[in-house]
Amino acid sequence: MRITAIHETAAPIKSTIANAYIDFSKMTCSLVAVVTDVVRDGEPVVGFGFSSNGRYAAGAIMRERMIPRLLEAPADSLLDPTSGLLDPFRCWDAMMTNEKPGGHGERSVAVGTIDMAIWDALAKIEGVPLWRLLADRYRDGRADPDVWVYAAGGYYQPDKGIPGLVEEVKSYQGMGYVDFKLKIGGATLAQDLDRIEAVIGVAGQASHVAVDANGRFDLETAVAYAKAFEPYGLLWYEEAGDPLDYALQAALAEHYAPPMATGENLFSTIDATNLIRYAGLRPDRDWLQFDCALSYGLCEYIRTLEMLEQHGWSTRRVVPHGGHQMSLNIAAGLHLGGNESYPGIFQPFGGFADGIRIENGRVALPEVPGIGIETKAGLYALCQELAAG
Amino acid sequence: MRITAIHETAAPIKSTIANAYIDFSKMTCSLVAVVTDVVRDGEPVVGFGFSSNGRYAAGAIMRERMIPRLLEAPADSLLDPTSGLLDPFRCWDAMMTNEKPGGHGERSVAVGTIDMAIWDALAKIEGVPLWRLLADRYRDGRADPDVWVYAAGGYYQPDKGIPGLVEEVKSYQGMGYVDFKLKIGGATLAQDLDRIEAVIGVAGQASHVAVDANGRFDLETAVAYAKAFEPYGLLWYEEAGDPLDYALQAALAEHYAPPMATGENLFSTIDATNLIRYAGLRPDRDWLQFDCALSYGLCEYIRTLEMLEQHGWSTRRVVPHGGHQMSLNIAAGLHLGGNESYPGIFQPFGGFADGIRIENGRVALPEVPGIGIETKAGLYALCQELAAG
């Protein structure tokens, strides 16, 4: 078999929301279609991939570097010699030819998006959901039947006060979510405490409420926030400082006993390794949030999970950023701790199968080949348009 | 004053050379022209910037994100309120609006290239060489009259044996260089030792010869090489392992007493900080090689130098990667230890003023406003073409 074409485009993933660092009004997202010469149901199998929110589309890097390398590689060099099907790891190596080590940003989005489409194509060719393919390959065939998800929201929006925040969280509750996350650091500490308490009021208890500073704080501010909300016993305290400031994270751990979380802005296995080595994170309570779509894809994610296990971390401590179907497949198939969800925003990329409801804070996965993009009508329509060329 | 236009293009910086990680046959480089409404000698002042070798052109990121942000910003918001001239730091902040922390690669090239053009424009408007502007602002007016440079070469090339390597180093000697660097890790250890000894033979002593593994080695191989050439007493042992593997670097330091060098593949101040915190580098002997053109430009470089001084490092331990005029200006103006040079390759971007010869391993800087691009005919021709639109 061979890859006959790779299409990519950038689509807006814009929103009126803002976190403590950026607003999302100009945010874009990459969409990729990998077309193969394998026919299923009378049509060539096409794998789809898309990047995640928070980083911009990376189409130029794909067009100039990764796509030509895949299309110019001898077809056999991209295949598993046993199965004769695409080997995502060989494809990954081809994409990274003539790339120097280090500098893990943007390029990691380009590779991650194409990698997703390759895994989608492979699972479709094998005729199985990706979560099952992963469980069969790496977890003795045992996939989780459903995945814990939490509703990430509570962004700062113009003219949205506490009542608006309460309404938002109640709406997530109505959808079946039990756990919620809100942004902090875009207002004063006192205002943020009011927001946190309002969300706890809806959620019922603080252990259902996480907070996210989006890397905004210096150590002094991070510790001031920590001391202010340590008594609550929150679900977690996310990305207090710069995502690469491991020393800040380690210092914060000395001031804050409840769970911390970070990792969404680390885009490679070696960056994740440094986090584990230096950031003082605690394998018995803290959370890791690497997002495969932004960080070289599932091939690299598998390497990161192996690294974690070598360092004594359970894969159950990993709850990926991004709220998308790819991470949901990885969570179910590779036994992660859960997955983020952004109900109603970052559409049509965010969210899960249209027909599957959240129940008691958990979501099941569809029984369709691949990632399940075909079960999400808005996203599938974009994908079909792209695949048509 | 205001910026009236920003042009960018990608140019090949290709070569038949290869290091241990990549070949350079498809390498590209970004070139930028920042056009202002300030008139000097009857013409609008145009600042030029270019990226450095080893990473690819980043034009799409500039066109989609940094250039619109600069052109859409209120003109006054980019100016120093005292002088009324461009403030590179305000321009930098404008370019990084709506960019999340972390992920320092590619984007760092886009920002770094435009930042270079802004500093070039500012120095031209002030009518001084950039090295003098920097010395006046940051070093009490004392610039270094010339800068130590070493000849980086010794790449693996098809059909180039030891005689070719010896000829190459002799040619650098003929140009006035005293110190030389060759690649290792693309051959066997025994072959590389032969190559090293051949270069020492030309250089006269090992303290004039550095070696560069380009991040290729695991710890075991890095240590094997270290033990093999520790007796020589080389100038330095560069980038033994993955540039982000601080633990490997620290472990190597326990096996290797002579100088080590690294940093060309770290692209932000926070990454540089982690290197200083965790990599076991020794301020009395080791070398730091951050390249401003690839790492968010001179604004970020100044922050990196401040960070180094806070950690007890002299700026004299910094010898930038890249072999270009921007780093040479920084070296002279901000008192670095020296600068890389690639005689004859990476043209027309690499190298220094056409009319100034290397003497006893040192090079002086031209007395022209800006970075000095106008003193380098091949590069200036490209720049003029770009500025014409």
DSSP readout, A251-301?
A: HHHTT--S-EEE-TT--SHHHHHHHHHHS---TTT-EE---GGGTTHHHHH
Q: Do the chains contact at A274 and B105, CB–CB below 8 Å?
A: no
pLDDT value, residue A273: 98
Amino acid at B35: V
Are A193 and A218 within 8 A, CB to CB? no
Q: Do the chains contact at B100 and A61, CB–CB below 8 Å?
A: no
Nearest to A103 among B61, B105, B274 (CB): B105
Nearest-by-CA chain B residue for A240: B101
Are A230 and A258 within 8 A, CB to CB? yes
Nearest to A23 among B98, B106, B215 (CB): B98
Tokens representing A44 are 């060539």
The rounded distance, in Å, linking the Cα atoms of B354 and A67 is 39
Residues of A with CB under 8 A from a CB of B: 21-23, 26, 28, 54-57, 59-61, 64-65, 97-108, 214-215, 242-247, 265-268, 270-271, 273-274, 277-278, 294
Are B126 and B115 within 8 A, CB to CB? no
Characterize the bridge pairing of strands A260-262 and A236-238: parallel
Are A105 and B105 within 8 A, CB to CB? yes
- For residue B65, the chain A residues in CB contact (below 8 A) are 56
pLDDT value, residue B288: 98
* A333-365 per-position pLDDT tens digit: 999 999 999 998 888 888 999 999 999 999 999
Is the pLDDT reported for residue A19 higher than 80? no
Give the 3-state secondary structure percentages of chain B, helix then strand then coil, rounded to 5: 40, 15, 40
Q: Do the chains contact at B23 and A98, CB–CB below 8 Å?
A: yes
Characterize the bridge pairing of strands A28-40 and A3-12: antiparallel
Please tell me which residue in B321, B324, B335, B376 is annotated as part of the active site: B321
Q: Do the chains contact at B21 and A101, CB–CB below 8 Å?
A: yes
Tokens representing B191 are 């072959």
The rounded distance, in Å, linking the Cα atoms of A52 and A95 is 19
Interface test with A, best of B104, B214, B248 (most A CBs within 10 A): B104
For chain B (389 residues), the mean pLDDT of every run of 10, in chain order, is 97 73 82 98 97 94 98 98 98 97 98 98 98 98 98 89 96 98 96 97 98 97 97 98 98 97 98 98 98 98 98 98 96 98 88 94 97 96 92
Q: What is the DSSP letter of B315?
A: G
φ, ψ of residue A18 in degrees (nearest 5): -145, 145
Nearest to A267 among B23, B103, B266 (CB): B103
Q: Do the chains contact at B270 and A104, CB–CB below 8 Å?
A: no
Q: Please confirm, yes or no, whether B181 is among the known catalytic residues.
A: no
What fold, for A137-377? TIM Barrel (3.20.20)
- CA angle centred on B329, ends B328 and B332, rounded to 5°: 85
Instruction: Please report which confidence band the pLDDT of residue A207 belongs to, taking 50, 70 and 90 as the band edges.
Output: very high
The rounded distance, in Å, linking the Cα atoms of B326 and B307 is 20
Q: Please confirm, yes or no, whether A324 is among the known catalytic residues.
A: no
pLDDT value, residue B14: 67
Domain B137-385 has CATH 3.20.20.120: yes
Are B65 and B152 within 8 A, CB to CB? no
- Return the SS3 of A320: coil
- For residue A215, the chain B residues in CB contact (below 8 A) are 100-102
Q: Do the chains contact at A103 and B104, CB–CB below 8 Å?
A: yes
φ, ψ of residue A146 in degrees (nearest 5): -150, 175
Neighbours of A239 (CB within 10 A): 31
Nearest-by-CA chain B residue for A271: B244
Q: Do the chains contact at B100 and A214, CB–CB below 8 Å?
A: yes
Please tell me which residue in A7, A124, A181, A183 is annotated as part of the active site: A183
Nearest to B102 among A56, A266, A278 (CB): A266
Are A287 and A261 within 8 A, CB to CB? yes
pLDDT value, residue B20: 64
Tokens representing B186 are 């693309």
Instruction: Please report which confidence band the pLDDT of residue A20 belongs to, taking 50, 70 and 90 as the band edges.
Output: low
Interface test with A, best of B244, B262, B291, B304 (most A CBs within 10 A): B244
- For residue A311, the chain B residues in CB contact (below 8 A) are none
Q: Do the chains contact at B104 and A99, CB–CB below 8 Å?
A: no
Q: Rg of chain A's alpha carbons, rounded to an integer? A: 20
Tokens representing A192 are 């943020």
What fold, for B3-127? Enolase-like; domain 1 (3.30.390)
Q: Do the chains contact at B107 and A106, CB–CB below 8 Å?
A: yes
- Return the SS3 of B260: strand
The rounded distance, in Å, linking the Cα atoms of A97 and A116 is 18
Are B158 and B16 within 8 A, CB to CB? yes
Q: Where are the domains of chain B?
A: 3-127, 137-385
Please tell me which residue in B124, B181, B183, B376 is annotated as part of the active site: B183
The single residue listed with the structure tokens 């009259």 is B145
Are A370 and A47 within 8 A, CB to CB? yes
